[in-house]
Structure formats: structure tokens, C-alpha cells
Amino acid sequence: MRNLLRPVPLAAMTILACLCANASRADPKTQTFGRWSVTIDEISTGQDVLKTCAASTAFVDPQGGPGTLTLSISNSDVLPPNGYPAVMLTVDNKNLPKGDGIAATFNDVNNKVPAKFRESGGAGSHRQWMMDNNPKTSLALLRTMRNAPTLDVVFGKEPVASIAMDGFTKAYRSLGASCGFPTRDVTP
């Protein structure tokens, strides 16, 4: 049997050890804006500061199951206006559609934003879906979230929840300020 592992040069091991030794993680920072919470997580490598910024709000689905709507972005991602935060729904509802290409609709009194979601994990009834991150659709949804007091979410014909948007504008501006992207196209 051949040994397929190659020895790592000492210089490479020293560089890796220095990078790991110099990396530091700050305690996450959390702020609350109305019903939204924003969490900023930072890791400093000594050369860069990597930030993950997430804004979430909790809701209860029509069957009484808990859920969250989360926006997440990193300062190393493609940033607005070329890309927008990932939109994820997590809810304890085993009746919602599974798989890829799930048609979803976000409705408020004035707007109806169609989107596509894919199931991205979970266990049992606690499942997660991620929106296909098309910049045009994401921008339309974020603008609707800014203007809506409540957003009704439907997967196919199955209601997911009615989600309060109180505090969304300030939460989104906080994401932009923390992860380094402009927010004027969503929250002028």
C-alpha cells in the first residue's frame, strides 16, 4: 500500500501556526431594533477582519410553530448592489414543501414579490430554506420589507407566516454599516 500523504514543509507549518496563533475572535455584538436583532461576529487574522452580519426576526406560523426570518452577509461576500444578504427561513413545520425551486410569495398590502427557495437542511420538523439569491428579486423583497408593517409568506399554496417588520429599516442599515456596504438602494 502506498502512502499518499506528503510531508508538509516546515516553513508552511510555521506560517499556518502563526496565522492560527494570531487569529482572534471578538465576542459577537448584538443590537435590537424593534422586532429585529442584529448580530455581528468578527474574526481577526492579524491581516484582515472577517465579519459575518446577520439580522433576524422571530415569528409563529399558523400551526403555532416557531420560526425565524434571517438575512446574512459577510464582508468577504459579493456586496450590494451586486449581491444582497442571503434570505433564510427556519420554521418548525413539516408540511412545507421540500426540495429545490420552491415557489414562494412575499405579500404586503401593496406588493407581491415572487421568489424561489431551496430546502437547506434541518432535522425533523425544524427545517430551513434559503432564497435563490437573485439581486433583482432580493432588492425587490428588501424594499418591500422596508415598507411593510407585516409581510405574509407563502410557499406554493401553504402559508408560512405573517411576519412583523417593525425595526427592519434600522436593522438593515446596521448590517450595511457593520459589513461595509451601502444601504441607500433599500433604505434611503
Give the tens place of pLDDT for each residue, 90-123. Answer: 999 888 898 999 999 999 988 899 999 999 887 6
Of residues 28 and 38, which shows the higher confidence score? 38
pLDDT tier at 187, thresholds 50, 70, 90? very high
> Is residue 169 within 8 Å of residue 124, measured between CB atoms?
no
Cα→Cα distances 77→31, 52, 180, Å: 22, 9, 11
pLDDT at 7 (0 to 100): 39
Q: Is the pLDDT score of 4 beyond 70? A: no
Domain ranges for the chain, please list them.
Answer: 24-179
pLDDT at 18 (0 to 100): 42
Amino acid at 6: R
* pLDDT tens, residue by residue, 42-77: 988 888 889 999 999 999 999 899 999 999 999 988
pLDDT at 39 (0 to 100): 97
CATH code for residues 24-179? 2.60.40.1880
> Is residue 118 within 8 Å of residue 100, measured between CB atoms?
yes
Q: How many CB atoms lie within 10 A of CB 21?
A: 9
pLDDT at 23 (0 to 100): 65
pTM of the complete model: 0.83
Q: How far apart are CA 81 and CA 63, in angstroms?
A: 37
Q: How far apart are CA 146 and CA 43, in angstroms?
A: 30
Distant-in-sequence, close-in-space partners of 140: CB < 8 Å, separation ≥ 6: 111, 113
pLDDT at 58 (0 to 100): 97
Phi, psi angle pair for 173, to nearest 5°: -60, -35
pLDDT at 162 (0 to 100): 97
> Is residue 91 within 8 Å of residue 127, measured between CB atoms?
yes
* pLDDT tens, residue by residue, 146-180: 999 999 999 999 999 999 999 999 999 999 999 99
Of residues 146 and 5, which shows the higher confidence score? 146
> Is residue 179 within 8 Å of residue 79, measured between CB atoms?
yes
**How close are the terminal C-alpha atoms of the chain, in Å?**
65
> Is residue 187 within 8 Å of residue 173, measured between CB atoms?
yes
pLDDT at 125 (0 to 100): 67
pLDDT at 31 (0 to 100): 96
Give the closest residue to 81 by CA, choosing from 143, 37, 144: 143
Helices 135-147 and 168-179, axial angle in degrees (round to 10):
130
